């Protein structure tokens, strides 16, 4: 083993705090060690949120780069791992909320087709949609299984139309038509539930 590889091996024996101190002093290798050290744990957290390997990979990259890039704000009041997991957890939650909002926006658009003139910027409507969001699972169970699965895969699992074509063995136009019908059915279910 040469001197360079021995020195590289020594990095792995440093604590997180020592690596951070060295990194802040200009040693770029320390950021790589932190990245490798926490990649699997952060990825596990991301996959538990997304259930999608590609999304989890992208999120893990984003979290680690963001955390290591802002490590100078780590105050040392807790362990580095605690600080990092807090960042990862908050990021995963915010991404889940963004993905859910896309789903609800499409439902809103379908509802708008059925009930023209609804002002979704109105505060009462926002409250209404928050209630609907909290009851989404129970609304989804009222759809036929195939349509429910298609909506969940498209909007919660982030499947593309091509992915759905493969999953359901349908053409692109058939997938789009079924998605539109499922959204409209969901919108009607929501309307009936609200009227009850």
Q: Residue 113: what are its φ and ψ, rounded to 5°?
A: -60, -40
Question: CATH 1.10.10 residue ranges in the chain?
Answer: 97-195
Q: Helix-strand-coil percent breakdown of the chain, rounded to 5? A: 80, 0, 20
pLDDT score of 123: 41
pLDDT score of 126: 52
For the record, the structure tokens of 82 come out as 């605690």
Q: Looking at the domain that runs over 3-95, which CATH code has it been given?
A: 1.10.1740.10
Cα distances (angstroms) measured from residue 17 to each of 22, 24, 69: 9, 11, 15
Where do we find the tokens 């699997």? 40
pLDDT score of 169: 92
Cα distances (angstroms) measured from residue 96 to each of 51, 100, 133: 11, 6, 13
Separation between Cα atoms, residue 187 and residue 63, nearest integer Å = 35
For the record, the structure tokens of 129 come out as 């949609």
CATH topology of domain 97-195: Arc Repressor Mutant, subunit A (1.10.10)
How does pLDDT run along the chain (196 residues), one tens digit per residue?
444 455 566 777 888 889 888 888 988 888 888 888 899 888 888 888 788 888 889 899 999 998 888 888 887 777 888 888 888 888 887 777 666 555 555 555 554 444 444 444 444 455 455 555 555 666 677 778 888 888 777 777 778 889 889 988 999 888 888 888 888 887 777 666 555 4
Question: CATH 1.10.1740.10 residue ranges in the chain?
Answer: 3-95
Separation between Cα atoms, residue 13 and residue 98, nearest integer Å = 39
Torsion of CA 93, 176, 137, 132, to 10 degrees: 80
């Amino acid at each position: 083993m040469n001197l360079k590889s021995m020195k590289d091996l020594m990095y792995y024996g440093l604590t997180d705090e020592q690596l951070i101190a060295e990194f802040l002093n200009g040693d770029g290798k320390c950021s790589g060690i932190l990245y490798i050290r926490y990649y699997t744990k952060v990825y596990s957290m991301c996959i538990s949120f997304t259930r999608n390997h590609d999304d989890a990979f992208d999120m893990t990259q984003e979290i680690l780069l963001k955390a290591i890039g802002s490590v100078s704000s780590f105050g040392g009041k807790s362990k580095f791992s605690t600080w990092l997991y807090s960042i990862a957890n908050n990021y995963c939650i915010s991404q889940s909320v963004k993905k859910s909002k896309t789903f609800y926006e499409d439902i809103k658009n379908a509802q708008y087709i059925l009930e023209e003139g609804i002002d979704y910027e109105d505060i009462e409507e926002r409250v209404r949609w928050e209630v609907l969001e909290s009851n989404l699972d129970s609304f989804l169970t009222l759809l036929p299984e195939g349509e429910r699965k298609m909506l969940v895969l498209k909007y919660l699992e982030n499947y593309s139309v091509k992915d759905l074509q493969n999953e359901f063995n349908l053409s692109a136009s058939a997938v789009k038509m079924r998605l539109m019908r499922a959204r409209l059915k969901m919108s009607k279910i929501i309307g009936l539930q609200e009227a009850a």
